[in-house]
Structure 1
Amino acid sequence: MEVKDNLEVILNDIEESKSNSPYHQTPTIIAVTKYVSTERAKEAVSAGIKDLGENRIEGFIEKKENIDNVTMHFIGSLQTRKVKEVINQVDYLHSLDRMSLAKEIQKRADKKVKCFIQVNVSGEDSKHGIKPEEVQSFTQSLAEYDNIEVVGLMTMAPLEANEIEIRAYFKHLKQLQLKIQELALPHAPCTETSMGMSNDYKIAIEEGATFIRIGTKLVG
């Protein structure tokens, strides 16, 4: 399928999900292009996509250097020793999950970096992320890092979770995000939620996602 046809289906899904949501927000679609060529990513941009997401540094740099006028999201786990290779080319980082990473970003960034704190809402051992009960203290402890702006929270639901479980995880993240937003911290406006992928983005939108990360269903 062509990307523009896939995008049309997703846009229709978004409108339907918005109507079933108390938040009525139109999320930003991030095309996750980690498994596709630069040419396929360009097709997504031609179809109207303005945001691309990569989880490997090599793929990120390749797309960044070859595609103009897009917002680049680094959505994978970022090793502390690799921060210097990519941080000044990132528009959004979706995986801030530990203080050592925050310190390295502070040290290496030439400008303020928009970051999502990754939260392990499901408690899976295999998942990266801050525990939900530690999100507030972690966010507050970032106040001294003037190169980091906490724009929101991010989570991933387990692949094997059922709809009821997925909904509960996304609802929990949204509640955490609103709680941090209410603190009105200058360094952490925390207005955004990055959640929902190809298999569960409709649920995520109903539960208040403002960024959805779609790979397979959009670009293949």
Structure 2
Amino acid sequence: MTALLAAACGSEDAAVTSAPPSSSAPISAPASSSSSPPNPGAEALTPAPEAPAPVDAADSAPESADGAGSPPPNERVVPCVDPSSPVVQDAIAGLWAPIETGWTVIDHTPGTSAEGCPTISWALARDTTTGNGTYYSHVMFFHSSGRYIGQASGKPYSYTTVVGATDTSVDVRYNWLADGDSFCCPTGGPSVMTFEYDGTVMNPRGDTGHFPPPTA
């Protein structure tokens, strides 16, 4: 994301072509038009070498230690998702939970703009209030242009993990507590849902899993 998402996580290199070879034929000295025979007693003369052309000092100056004269550096390298960036913080501010709580990002798309960021990046946020292992989670999606797309669901769920991703899809795994389960060890699920980008929003794919049941 820009590379999000500091500015969502890019740089382009211009193609460089070499100059075409000259089509001109080699130039030789013209033959003498004089028909006079050579003087056998004359000493052969070696023409004096031409004086070298003046050299511009700027062209011959060595490159400075700070890289002056070198091509401009590449763009600044940023993470694909930066939890402290304005776009991520604004997204977090809009998350809903049935309790009064704050949110913190605990996982997100790895990598940097130098390695190449996907079209769709994600961030997993967890609530900061629940302390019994059933904390609420939201999965947020971001476009590489720096735009916040939305959440996997308006309702937060517990025991939520991102388990895979491609350039334009994200796989989210849900577990939930079944009757008699301890908070540490949910046996409901797992259900893995794949969310795909349709050019505007992220939609759950119909042939994949489902959200946890309403009672979860």
Band the TM-score falls in, shorter-chain normalisation: under 0.3
TM-score, normalised relative to structure 2: 0.23
Structure with greater proportional strand content: 2
More helix as a share of residues? 1
TM-score, normalising length: structure 1 = 0.22
Q: Indicate the structure (1 or 2) with the bigger Cα radius of gyration.
A: 2
Q: Which has the higher contact order (CA 8 A, sep 6+)?
A: 1
